[in-house]
Amino acid sequence: GGSGPVGSAAGDGAPPAPGRVLFPPTFSVSEIKNKQRRHFMFLRWKQQQRKEKLAAKKKRRKEREALGDKAPPKAIPKTIENQRVYDETTVDPNDEEVAFDEATDEFAPYFNRQTVPKILITTSDRPRGRTVRFCEQLSTVIPNSHVYYRRGLALKRIIPQCIARDFTDLIVINEDRKIPNGLLLSHLPDGPTAHFRMSSVRLRKEIKRKGKEPTEHVPEVILNNFTTRLGHSVGRMFASLFPHDPQFIGRQVATFHNQRDYIFFRFHRYIFKSEKKVGIQELGPRFTLKLRSLQKGTFDSKFGEYEWVHKRREMDTNRRKFHL
């Protein structure tokens, strides 16, 4: 119908100059049947778009310069963090309810300096070399931690034994196909249990420009970006792994940085070169965690009461919504 005569007008080998032929407004490049011509028209359309865009940019810049001081402020580019869906459980620093909750939850004795953390690190059955070495390095990073070889023991039996021996936390590193891929962190006397998926694990020897081994000093802890209520409780869990009083002489810092629901763990040694400049050197292993589930009591997969479970169908669909 309409594109027939137009097509013939446009096609004689090389299409005529754009000024001469006027296409009807409902015409689109994709309607041309001939692939070569269609491709050519598309390229031309693209060039035109680019020119227009460049011209618009120049014009805007000129206007901005012309206005000088009165120019409207530059538009802030949209990032995922900017566009994040506001989570209603975001913690307000002055919230009294949250403060009250935290004073009475399972970590209160730690934050009141009544208990000293003592950590047990273990793996799943038959760990391969990489996992074993990772466990050792992790135990050097976390002070007052012990690595025990798991010999087919059931977790439900280990936990009462740990409580009897005064351990405060239990870390189980799950292994699959010779690489560690899961982390279970359980606060022992009846505390919450968090199950994480672990990825990009780098041992010390794989880190470039690493320094010497981490010393025995108690490191500082940095927890970044734990904003929601859930993030807050997870952050406190991490904080309770380390003794409360860091030794600043050691100049070591362990960082848990949450970004878009991925928690990045890094271990650095820092030095203040001047008052405004600090240098950091990465020692120690690094890994990233993604929270899979948070359970109220200690590890119990069947009868446990889950505070939060990652539901893929509901939670992964929205790209701007994060839960930690």
Partner 1 sequence: SSQVVWDTLGNRQFCSYKITTKTQNFCRNEYNLTGLCNRSSCPLANSQYATIREEKGRCYLYMKTIERAAFPRRLWERVLLSKNYEKALEEIDENLIYWPRFIRHKCKQRFTKITQYLIRIRKLTLKRQRKLVPLRRKIERREKRREEKALIAAQLDNAIEKELLERLKQDTYGDIYNFPIHAFDKALQQQDAESESESDAEKEEEDDEDMDKREFVEADDSDLSDFEDMDKLETSSEEEEEVEKKASHSKSKGKTPLKGPARRKRPYIEIEYEEETEPATKTKAT
CB of 17 to partner 1, least distance (A): 45
Residue closer to partner 1 by CB (options 84, 133) is 84
Number of residues that bind partner 1 (CB under 8 A): 36
317 lines the binding site for partner 1 (CB under 8 A): no
Instruction: Output b/e per residue, 111-133; b: 16+ Cβ within 10 A.
Output: eeeebebbbbbbbbeebeeebbb
274 lines the binding site for partner 1 (CB under 8 A): yes
Distances, alpha carbon 114 to alpha carbons 107, 117, 156, in Å: 10, 10, 26
52 lines the binding site for partner 1 (CB under 8 A): no
Binding track, positions 160-199, relative to partner 1; x by CB under 8 A: -------------------------------------x-x
14, 5 Cβ separation under 8 angstroms: no
Q: Which residues 6+ apart lie within 8 Å of 18 measured at CB?
A: 44
Smallest Cα–Cα separation from 119: which of 167, 190, 84, 178?
Answer: 167
User: What's the CA dihedral at 218, 224, 227, 233 to 10 degrees?
Assistant: -20
- Binding to partner 1 (CB under 8 A) within 287-316 occurs at 288, 290, 312, 316
**DSSP structure string for 220-243:** EEEEE---BHHHHHHHHHHHTTS-
270 lines the binding site for partner 1 (CB under 8 A): yes
Structure tokens that stand for 240 in this block: 């309770």
Structure tokens that stand for 49 in this block: 């778009």
Using the contact rule CB under 8 A, the part of the chain among 24-32, 60-68, 132-140, 268-276 near partner 1 is 268-276
- Binding to partner 1 (CB under 8 A) within 232-251 occurs at 248-249
268 lines the binding site for partner 1 (CB under 8 A): yes
262 lines the binding site for partner 1 (CB under 8 A): yes
Q: Which residues bind partner 1 (CB under 8 A)?
A: 79-81, 125, 152, 154, 197, 199-200, 220, 222, 224, 248-249, 253, 255, 257, 259-262, 264, 266, 268, 270, 272, 274-278, 280, 288, 290, 312, 316
